[in-house]
Amino acid sequence: MIRFVRAFLHFWADFLIGDRPELFIGPILALVIAGLLVGAGLPGALVGSLLFGAIVLIGAFSVGLVARR
């Protein structure tokens, strides 16, 4: 049973995170920060623009890491 659970968790970790953990963790952090900003009273349009910019920067960062190798 333990072997099955470990294999199941390994599959999902490999499926979700894969080779680029920054593409998994980055958008989650960006969404959490965006939620905090909306909760703090910033306008939704501004937070949406910031979220879009953060996602683009995370993607560019990931591509830069791959290109550097």
Is residue 10, in this structure, part of any structural domain at all?
no
Angle between helices 44-68 and 22-39 (to 10 degrees): 160
Other Cβ atoms less than 10 A from the Cβ of 50: the count is 15
DSSP at 15? H
Q: Is 60 left (phi over 0), alpha (psi -120 to 50) or beta?
A: alpha
- What phi and psi values does residue 31 have, to the nearest 5 degrees? -65, -40
Is residue 1, in this structure, part of any structural domain at all?
no
Distance of alpha carbon 36 from alpha carbon 47, whole angstroms: 10
Is residue 45, in this structure, part of any structural domain at all?
yes
Q: Containing domain of residue 28, as a range?
A: 20-68
Q: Model confidence over 13-67: pLDDT tens digits?
A: 898 888 889 999 999 999 999 999 999 999 999 999 999 999 999 999 999 998 9
Q: Is 34 helix (H, G, I), strand (E, B) or coil?
A: helix
**The total number of structural domains that make up the chain:** 1
Query: What pTM, to 2 d.p., does this model score?
Result: 0.81
